């Protein structure tokens, strides 16, 4: 006997069908059309969120109060819509679409995939844990995770065994909360460490542990999906509108690009030596030192340092004077400088608008492109220096041994920007940099802000005078600094907007 | 003597006889071909693969393998190996296997070392089989386990459930780790660490060990007899137990090892009640360190790993790798396991009258003759009872497969 095919009933509006839970596994790609603007905005905003997830994951203990507060704030920012609030549907839609766009940008290499998966997992874990218990179970069912709950009788009969097998289980917990029965193949981490009760091939998992299982599932699915995405990427990249966006994303710099000069001429050449010790990130301090010592820098170093100097406010005339005076001390005479090198300095200060090549390099660019070879001094010391040499350098710069260790740990974990941020914190004697480091010029600006004790940029002149007179007075009590830094965080948004 | 003297030099003469008249091909083939998937073997380091029993028989009789190792089921027949790109070969299915080797216990057995075994240390295998068999069945839900004596100094376990054959490498490794309690190599003195709460699996295992510990460890291995072995036992204890003044004195006065053991347990209890820290189980740790099964995780993990086949002949001892009947586990004696010399000798014994009648029948029907003769042949030898164990194992598998198929067709049936 054959039954006619069951026709699907249309339940409610199609919107509700699509997003029936605030969380999702991102199984189905979005099918609608969106504008390029929305495409880019969604992607950039999710990227900011993921970078915060990464930053917090390294600097705070996960699930500590600090962590939850900060991550909560960032998530709210992500879902925030400046106009009259944002509907639940629109939130979920943004979540959905932004995730899939970032997949395109982050599927291409093993490193990018690993990073993306890690942050998405941490974000998912946070949001899942935040769910009400009922919604957790809801989510499991809606996603075909065949995890049955154990009946009350069975729970009672197994109570002692359950308590003896699972961490953090008590009699009351067993009674009040669900215990899930899961095929042992889906709970390998718990089986391997014998942290779960097994019976007849099933693992009995208490409610609070189910998230580990769910996360493993999430990771597996995302990993497979990214591999598939990578295969279909060439088709996407051939779309001229998308290609620059995507490659920009994966070399993610999502803040100010310092191409428009502010404070031109506010810094005098005599200040540069002092500034290099106090407010330059390590890469630029390194380059400056090499320039002073060798009276020369190769092309890569000239570009990286020269554009940075432009970004902090050197005028074209100042720049020419700076480079010429240094090179002339070396093997290059004034004429040769004017013929060969001056041209490239002027180029850096190109006339027309934003030429991407001639904007000061972001950290991502420094880290990922053009690695230095013998005789080069550019690049990111945290990425490109041998850890031993890095250690020595930091010792020379009087960084404390424990601080050096912290930095080296971050370097080992490939968190180069966070290592530099840590360097900032140690050299400025603050506990929390108060910003997420993405750009060498940002480092400089933040440093100047901190040292001058205020937002007002005009104070820089006073400050630099002060620092000349009193180089040792840079440190302030760390409490005051971090408080300031915290207040300033709120204002940081304006820095990310073009003026 | 129940076993003939085995001389490895005779192996070349005995092996052809073994494969012609004694090796239980039909059962073997049945085992290997469930699911209709062809298996492949290594013989003399060459790939062979077979799709019918006849093929298998002919090949093996021709090759007269000295070693048969069984590997995974591959997605393409290996003879096409060169024609197909290497990336497409994937081990699809392989039993979950465990290998317990007596040499892994050398640091805790005094009677023998290296390749030697004796009836005293064989108890370790008994304990291992009991603990692992229970866990694999009750905790992991497996049903079809074949325990095989390796022929010299250990046992193997083949878990043949469908679910087991489909396990990923990660899953196999997780199962093996779950079952592992003794950790650490030569540098580690205290190899078992227990803390609260004690997992039910450990409790089950402890109850098995406790059944055998007194006879095996205290009496047979005499671990608390000589000063040397006492020191070894005490080496795993912490300073504060060792510093109990009672300990040194009592051990001096008390020579009876059993009493010494009881003393030790008392001390542990005393320390436990005195200490703020809960969960000190040094006595249990000692029992586990001396008795708990030691398995090689890598053997179980590897889908491409090879393990010696049941019913192969061990070249050094001549013993057949026979299935072990768990119902008779406590009386299993590795030295009673027939050697190839013995069973070949038994073959030559004068036959009973019924045998002559069978001969007549054979002449009438040559086709089945070979089969029948072989069945009669091994039945006349000491190999018979071991083939029966294998038969029972295969029956159980066949029954459950039938059950599965019925279930499947029920679900798919049109009404």
ipTM of the complex: 0.84
pLDDT above 80 (res B63): no
Question: Could you tell me the pLDDT band of residue A470, with boundaries at 50, 70 and 90?
Answer: very low
pLDDT above 50 (res A412): yes
Question: Could you tell me the pLDDT band of residue A284, with boundaries at 50, 70 and 90?
Answer: very high
Q: Is A182 exposed, middle or buried (0-12, 13-18, 19+ CB in 10 A)?
A: buried
Which one is predicted more confidently, A469 or A208? A208
B174 touches chain A (CB under 8 A): yes
B177 touches chain A (CB under 8 A): yes
CA distance B281 to B283: 6
Choose, out of B171, B203, B292, the residue to mutate when testing the contact with A (most A CBs < 10 Å).
Answer: B171
Which one is predicted more confidently, B100 or A354? B100
pLDDT above 70 (res A335): yes
Predicted pLDDT at A264:
72
pLDDT above 60 (res A495): no
B414 touches chain A (CB under 8 A): yes
What confidence tens digit (pLDDT) does each residue in B29-62 have?
788 776 434 455 444 334 556 666 777 777 777 6
Q: Is A68 helix (H, G, I), strand (E, B) or coil?
A: helix
Are β-strands B73-74 and B91-93 bridged in parallel, bridged antiparallel, or unpaired? Answer: antiparallel
pLDDT above 70 (res A499): no
Nearest-Cα distance to chain B for A165, in Å, is: 5
Nearest to A194 among B138, B167, B178 (CB): B178
Nearest-Cα distance to chain A for B412, in Å, is: 12
Distances (CA, A) of B143 to A309, B400, B403: 73, 9, 13
Over residues B333-352, the mean pLDDT reads 86
Q: Is B339 helix (H, G, I), strand (E, B) or coil?
A: strand
Over residues A52-64, the mean pLDDT reads 77
Predicted pLDDT at A401:
93
pLDDT above 70 (res B357): no
CA distance A39 to A242: 9
Question: Could you tell me the pLDDT band of residue B354, with boundaries at 50, 70 and 90?
Answer: low
Which one is predicted more confidently, A137 or A326? A326
Q: Is A409 exposed, middle or buried (0-12, 13-18, 19+ CB in 10 A)?
A: middle
Are β-strands A197-199 and A202-206 bridged in parallel, bridged antiparallel, or unpaired? Answer: antiparallel
DSSP A158-227: HHHHHHHHSTT--HHHHHHS-EEEEEGGG-HHHHHTT-SEEETTEEEEEGGGHHHHHHHHHHHHHHHHHH
Nearest-Cα distance to chain A for B82, in Å, is: 27
**Of the segments A97-106, B7-16, B276-285, which one has the largest average pLDDT value?**
A97-106
Q: What percent of chain A has pLDDT over 70?
A: 82
Q: How far is CA A302 from the centre of its chain?
A: 27
pLDDT above 80 (res A467): no
Are β-strands B96-101 and B154-159 bridged in parallel, bridged antiparallel, or unpaired? Answer: antiparallel
Contact assignment for A194 to B201 by CB distance below 8 Å: yes
Over residues B265-289, the mean pLDDT reads 79
B139 touches chain A (CB under 8 A): yes
Nearest to A188 among B141, B170, B198 (CB): B170
Question: Could you tell me the pLDDT band of residue A82, with boundaries at 50, 70 and 90?
Answer: low
Short-list A345, A350, A365, CA closest to A283: A365
Predicted pLDDT at B331:
94
Q: Is A321 exposed, middle or buried (0-12, 13-18, 19+ CB in 10 A)?
A: middle
Question: Could you tell me the pLDDT band of residue B217, with boundaries at 50, 70 and 90?
Answer: very high
DSSP B91-151: EEE--EEEEEEGGGGTTT-SS--TT---HHHHHHHHHHHHHHHHIIIIIT----EEEEE-S
Residues of A within 8 A of B197 (CB-CB) are 163-165
CA distance B247 to B260: 9
pLDDT above 90 (res A334): no
Of the listed ranges A33-47, A422-436, B148-162, B274-288, the least confidently predicted one is B274-288
Nearest-Cα distance to chain B for A147, in Å, is: 17
Predicted pLDDT at A10:
34
Nearest CA in chain A to B197: A164
CA distance B208 to A220: 39
Question: Could you tell me the pLDDT band of residue A3, with boundaries at 50, 70 and 90?
Answer: very low
Over residues A213-221, the mean pLDDT reads 86
Structural contact between residues A286 and A381, judged by C-beta atoms closer than 8 angstroms: yes
Q: Is B264 helix (H, G, I), strand (E, B) or coil?
A: helix
What phi and psi values does residue A188 have, to the nearest 5 degrees? -60, -40
Residues of B within 8 A of A197 (CB-CB) are 199-200
Predicted pLDDT at B277:
61
CA distance A334 to A331: 10
Which one is predicted more confidently, A53 or B92? A53
Residues of A within 8 A of B198 (CB-CB) are 164
Of the listed ranges A372-386, B12-26, B80-94, the least confidently predicted one is B80-94
User: Which neighbouring-strand residues pair with A198?
Assistant: A203
CA distance B323 to B390: 6
Cis peptide before B197 (omega within 30 of 0): yes
Residue tagged 């005009």 (tokens): A458
Residues of B within 8 A of A2 (CB-CB) are 414
B167 touches chain A (CB under 8 A): yes
Q: What percent of chain B has pLDDT over 90?
A: 37
Predicted pLDDT at A169:
82
Predicted pLDDT at B363:
61
Nearest-Cα distance to chain A for B297, in Å, is: 12
What confidence tens digit (pLDDT) does each residue in A176-192 have?
878 889 899 988 989 99
Predicted pLDDT at B71:
61
Nearest to A164 among B163, B173, B198 (CB): B198
B279 touches chain A (CB under 8 A): no
Residues of A within 8 A of B203 (CB-CB) are 164
Task: State yes or no: is B99 an active-site residue.
Answer: yes
Question: Could you tell me the pLDDT band of residue A324, with boundaries at 50, 70 and 90?
Answer: very high
Short-list A433, A44, A39, A492, CA closest to A254: A44
Over residues A359-368, the mean pLDDT reads 87
Of the listed ranges A73-77, A296-300, B400-404, the least confidently predicted one is B400-404
Q: Is A130 exposed, middle or buried (0-12, 13-18, 19+ CB in 10 A)?
A: middle
**Of the segments A43-57, A260-274, B282-296, which one has the largest average pLDDT value?**
B282-296
Sheet holding B68-70, edge to edge: B46-49, B40-43, B68-70, B307-308
Predicted pLDDT at A11:
33
Tell whether A420 is in a known binding site: yes
Residues of B within 8 A of A198 (CB-CB) are 139-140, 178, 201
Structural contact between residues A196 and A147, judged by C-beta atoms closer than 8 angstroms: no
Over residues A131-141, the mean pLDDT reads 79
Residue tagged 């074949």 (tokens): B146
What confidence tens digit (pLDDT) does each residue in A418-446 have?
899 999 999 999 888 878 788 999 999 99
pLDDT above 70 (res B229): yes
Residues of B within 8 A of A163 (CB-CB) are 197
Q: Which two tokens stand for residue A494?
A: 């304006």
Q: Which two tokens stand for residue A239?
A: 């779309």
Over residues B181-202, the mean pLDDT reads 89
Over residues B119-123, the mean pLDDT reads 93
pLDDT above 70 (res A458): no
CA distance B89 to B72: 11
Predicted pLDDT at B342:
92
Angle of helix B257-274 relative to helix B282-291, nearest 10 degrees?
A: 140
Contact assignment for B199 to A164 by CB distance below 8 Å: yes
Long-range contacts of A236-245 (CB under 8 A, 24+ apart): A236/A104, A241/A36, A242/A39, A242/A104, A245/A36, A245/A39, A245/A40, A245/A43
Predicted pLDDT at B1:
40
B412 touches chain A (CB under 8 A): no
pLDDT above 70 (res B409): yes
Q: How far is CA A27 from the centre of its chain?
A: 24
Which residues 198-227 of B are in CB contact (within 8 Å) with A?
198-201, 203
CA-angle at B409, arms to B405 and B414, nearest 5°: 175
Predicted pLDDT at B46:
47
pLDDT above 90 (res B190): no
Structural contact between residues A182 and A197, judged by C-beta atoms closer than 8 angstroms: no
Over residues A67-83, the mean pLDDT reads 81
Task: State yes or no: is B101 an active-site residue.
Answer: yes
Of the listed ranges A353-357, A492-496, B204-208, B403-407, the least confidently predicted one is A492-496
pLDDT above 80 (res A311): yes
Predicted pLDDT at A408:
94
CA distance B247 to B254: 10
User: Which neighbouring-strand residues pair with A183?
Assistant: A202
pLDDT above 50 (res A480): no
Over residues A83-99, the mean pLDDT reads 83
Predicted pLDDT at B321:
94
Residue contacts between A and B (CB atoms, under 8 Å): 55
Structural contact between residues A366 and A304, judged by C-beta atoms closer than 8 angstroms: yes
Predicted pLDDT at B83:
39
Short-list A129, A142, A137, A146, CA closest to A212: A129
pLDDT above 60 (res A325): yes
Nearest-Cα distance to chain A for B87, in Å, is: 17
What phi and psi values does residue A223 have, to the nearest 5 degrees? -60, -45
Contact assignment for A198 to B167 by CB distance below 8 Å: no
Which one is catalytic: B57, B95, B101, B220?
B101
User: Which neighbouring-strand residues pair with A202?
Assistant: A183, A199
Rg (CA), chain B: 25
**Of the segments A211-225, B312-326, B353-367, which one has the largest average pLDDT value?**
B312-326
Choose, out of A158, A167, A185, A193, the residue to mutate when testing the contact with B (most B CBs < 10 Å).
Answer: A185
Q: Which two tokens stand for residue A148?
A: 């049955």
Residues of B within 8 A of A204 (CB-CB) are none
Tell whether A22 is in a known binding site: no
Q: Tell me if the pTM is above 0.80.
A: no
Task: State yes or no: is B46 an active-site residue.
Answer: yes
What phi and psi values does residue B138 have, to the nearest 5 degrees? -80, -40
pLDDT above 60 (res A463): no
When the pLDDT of each residue in chain A is averaged and rounded to a whole number, the result is 80
């Amino acid at each position: 006997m054959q039954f006619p095919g069951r026709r699907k009933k249309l339940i409610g509006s199609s919107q509700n069908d699509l997003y029936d839970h605030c969380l999702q596994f991102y199984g189905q790609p979005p099918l609608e059309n969106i504008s390029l603007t929305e495409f880019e905005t969604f992607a950039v905003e999710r990227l900011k969120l993921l970078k915060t997830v990464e930053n917090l994951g390294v600097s705070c203990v996960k699930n500590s109060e600090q962590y939850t507060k900060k991550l909560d704030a960032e998530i709210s920012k992500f879902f925030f819509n400046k106009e009259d609030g944002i509907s639940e549907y629109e939130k979920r839609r943004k979540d959905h679409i932004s995730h899939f766009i970032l997949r395109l940008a982050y599927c291409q290499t093993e490193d990018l995939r690993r990073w993306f998966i890690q942050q998405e997992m941490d974000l998912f874990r946070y949001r899942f844990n935040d769910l009400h218990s009922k919604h957790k179970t809801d989510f499991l069912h809606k996603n075909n995770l065949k995890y049955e709950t154990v009946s009350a009788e069975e729970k009672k009969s197994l109570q002692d065994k359950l308590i003896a097998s699972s961490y953090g289980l008590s009699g009351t917990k067993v009674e009040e909360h669900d215990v899930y029965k899961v095929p042992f193949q889906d709970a390998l981490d718990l089986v391997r460490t014998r942290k779960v009760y097994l019976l007849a091939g099933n693992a009995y998992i208490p409610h609070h542990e189910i998230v580990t299982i769910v996360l493993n599932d999430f990771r597996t699915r995302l990993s497979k999906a990214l591999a598939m995405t990578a295969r279909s990427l060439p088709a996407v990249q051939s779309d001229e509108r998308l290609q620059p966006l995507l490659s920009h994303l994966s070399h993610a710099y999502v803040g100010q690009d310092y191409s428009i000069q502010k404070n031109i001429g506010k810094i005098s050449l005599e200040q540069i030596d002092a500034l290099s010790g106090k407010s330059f990130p390590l890469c630029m301090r390194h380059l400056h030192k090499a320039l002073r010592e060798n009276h020369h820098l190769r092309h890569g170093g000239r570009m990286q340092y020269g554009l940075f100097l432009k970004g902090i406010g050197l005028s074209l005339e100042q720049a020419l004077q700076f480079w010429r005076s240094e090179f002339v001390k070396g093997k290059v005479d004034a004429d040769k400088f004017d013929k060969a090198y001056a041209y490239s300095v002027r180029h850096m200060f190109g006339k027309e608008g934003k030429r991407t090549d001639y904007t000061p390099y972001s950290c991502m660019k420094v880290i990922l492109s053009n690695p230095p070879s013998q005789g080069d001094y550019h690049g990111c010391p945290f990425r490109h220096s041998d850890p031993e040499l890095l250690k020595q350098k930091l010792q020379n710069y009087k960084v404390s041994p424990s601080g050096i260790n912290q930095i080296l740990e971050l370097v080992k974990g490939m968190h180069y920007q966070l290592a530099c941020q840590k360097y900032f914190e140690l050299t400025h004697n603050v506990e929390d940099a108060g910003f997420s480091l993405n750009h060498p010029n940002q480092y400089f600006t933040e440093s100047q802000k901190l040292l001058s004790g205020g937002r007002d940029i005009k104070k820089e002149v006073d400050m630099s005078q002060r620092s000349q007179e009193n180089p040792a007075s840079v440190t302030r009590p760390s409490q005051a600094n971090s408080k300031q830094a915290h207040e300033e965080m709120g204002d940081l948004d304006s820095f990310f907007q073009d003026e | 003597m129940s076993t003939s003297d085995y001389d490895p030099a005779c192996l070349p003469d005995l092996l052809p006889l073994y494969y012609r008249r004694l090796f239980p091909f039909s059962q073997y083939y049945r085992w290997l071909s469930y699911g209709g998937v062809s298996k492949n073997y290594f013989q003399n380091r060459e790939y062979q693969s077979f799709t019918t029993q006849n093929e298998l028989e002919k090949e093996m009789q021709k090759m007269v393998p000295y070693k048969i190792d069984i590997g995974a089921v591959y997605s393409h027949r290996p003879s096409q190996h060169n024609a197909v790109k290497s990336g497409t070969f994937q081990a699809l299915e392989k039993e979950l296997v465990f290998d317990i080797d007596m040499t892994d216990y050398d640091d805790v057995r005094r009677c023998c070392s290296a390749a030697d075994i004796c009836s005293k240390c064989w108890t370790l295998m008994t304990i291992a089989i009991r603990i692992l068999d229970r866990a694999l069945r009750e905790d992991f839900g497996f049903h079809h386990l074949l325990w095989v004596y390796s022929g010299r100094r250990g046992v193997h376990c083949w878990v043949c459930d469908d679910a087991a054959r489909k396990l990923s490498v990660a899953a196999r490794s997780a199962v093996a780790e779950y079952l592992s309690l003794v950790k650490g190599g030569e540098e580690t003195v205290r190899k078992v660490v227990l803390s609260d709460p004690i997992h039910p699996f450990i409790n089950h295992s402890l109850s098995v060990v406790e059944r055998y510990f007194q006879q095996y460890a205290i009496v047979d291995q005499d671990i608390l007899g000589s000063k040397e072995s006492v020191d070894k036992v005490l080496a795993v204890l912490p300073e504060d137990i060792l510093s109990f003044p009672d300990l040194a004195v009592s051990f001096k006065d008390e020579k009876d090892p059993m009493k010494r053991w009881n003393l030790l347990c008392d001390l542990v209890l005393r320390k436990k009640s005195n200490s703020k820290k809960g969960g000190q189980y040094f006595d249990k740790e000692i029992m586990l360190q001396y008795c708990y099964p030691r398995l090689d995780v890598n053997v179980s993990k590897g889908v491409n790993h090879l393990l010696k086949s049941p019913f192969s002949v061990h070249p050094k001892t001549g013993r057949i790798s026979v299935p072990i009947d768990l119902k008779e586990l406590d009386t299993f004696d590795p030295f009673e396991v027939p050697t190839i010399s013995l069973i070949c000798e038994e073959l030559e014994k004068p036959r009973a009258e019924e045998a002559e009648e069978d001969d007549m029948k054979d002449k009438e029907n040559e086709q089945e003759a070979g089969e029948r003769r072989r069945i009669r042949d091994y039945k006349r030898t000491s190999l018979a009872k071991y083939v029966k164990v294998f038969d029972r194992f295969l029956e159980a598998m066949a029954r459950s497969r039938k059950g599965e198929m019925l279930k499947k067709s029920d679900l798919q049936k049109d009404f």
